[in-house]
Amino acid sequence: MDYLQLMGFGPNGWGYGMLAATGMTVAVALCGYLIGSILGSLGAAAAFSRFMLLRGIAGFYTTVLRGIPDLLVIYLFYFGSSSVISGVAALFGAEGFVGAPAFITGAMAIGVVSGAYQMQVFRGAVLALAKGEIEAARAYGMPSFLLFRRIILPQAARFAIPGMGNVWQLVLKESALISVIGLVEIMRQSQIGAGSTRQPFSFYLTAAALYLLITFVSGRGFRLAERRAMRGVRRAA
């Protein structure tokens, strides 16, 4: 069977399978990214907090999660939640190992990891704000939340776009690791295909091409967003 037939949409083709897997990759990466955004903004808020304890927790979170392999975090989430679920299942009389749902645990794992990176992006973006802006707002008597909503958020969001683009690429590539806990995304589907057709090179090359396509298209998207957000900013000639 030649390559086009193999990856085609015919009766023996793997086209639909790979397409569905691509959708799964994008879905789990998006979920992880959103979880990471929430954790990242909470972390950044804690890092700017008045309370030393909160600052300490945020610093610990970002240092640890950026310092250990993502694969380890995925294992922790998968086996950790599985052992909890198995324990609950044992109460109802089930025996042995009950696996946690791969999608949720996978999204949580890459969410927690990407949150550590996004926290640094947000922190950098807030620090990039001109100090005078905040002082001026304070001088007007703006309360904290209003100051955040009107002055900090719109400008920090603009500064954060390039960094957010980098983290998105990271998350997308990280999502390949979720295949080790059995979620059928691009990598897992390629493994299945490679196993049943004995054509591993064709499948993994296709997987690489699909990832390249997603990173390329989303990279373009982020560049457009950056250009749009930077409309009003004067650049030194």
Partner 1 sequence: MLIDFPFLWESFTALLKGIPLTLQLTALSVVTGGVLAVLLALMRVSNKWWLDLPAQFYVFVFRGTPLLVQIYIIYYGISQFPELRQSWVWPFLRQAYWCAALALALNTAAYSAEIIRGGLLSVPAGQIEAARATGMSGFLLMRRIIFPQALRQMLPGYSNEIILMVKSTALASTVTLMEVTGIAAKLISQSYRPIELFICAGAIYLALNFIVARLFAALEYALSPERRPAPVSAADKPEKARA
Q: Is 41 in the site for partner 1 (CB under 8 A)?
A: no
Q: How far is the CB of 211 from partner 1 (least distance, A)?
A: 5
Q: Of 152 and 178, which has the nearer Cβ to partner 1?
A: 178
Among 31, 46, 70, 102, binds partner 1 (CB under 8 A): 70
- Tell me the number of residues near partner 1 by CB under 8 A: 43
Amino acid identity, residue 200?
A: P
What is the smallest separation between the CB atom of 34 and partner 1, expressed in angstroms?
20
Torsion (CA) 67, 73, 76, 78 in degrees, nearest 10: 180
Q: Around 202, how many Cα atoms within 13 Å sit in the side-chain half-sphere?
A: 20
Q: With CA atoms as reference, report the closest residue to 23 among 109, 103, 115, 112.
A: 103
Using rule CB under 8 A, residue 180 touches partner 1: yes
| Per CB under 8 A, 67 contacts partner 1 | yes
Q: Measured from the CB of residue 118, what is the shortest distance to partner 1 in angstroms?
A: 16
Residues 6+ apart with CB under 8 A from 13: 5, 6, 7
Three-class secondary structure of residue 101 per DSSP: coil
Nearer to partner 1, 74 or 126 (CB): 74
Residue 161, helix vs strand vs coil: helix
Grouping H, G, I as helix, E, B as strand and the rest as coil, residue 225 is helix
Does 205 interact with partner 1 (rule: CB under 8 A)? Answer: yes
User: Contact with partner 1 (CB under 8 A): which of 44, 126, 152, 176?
Assistant: 176
Whether residue 176 contacts residue 211, with contact meaning beta carbons closer than 8 Å, is answered with yes
Binding residues vs partner 1 (CB under 8 A): 63-64, 67-73, 75-76, 78-80, 83, 86, 97, 169, 172-177, 179-180, 187, 190-191, 194, 198-202, 204-205, 207-208, 211-212, 215-216
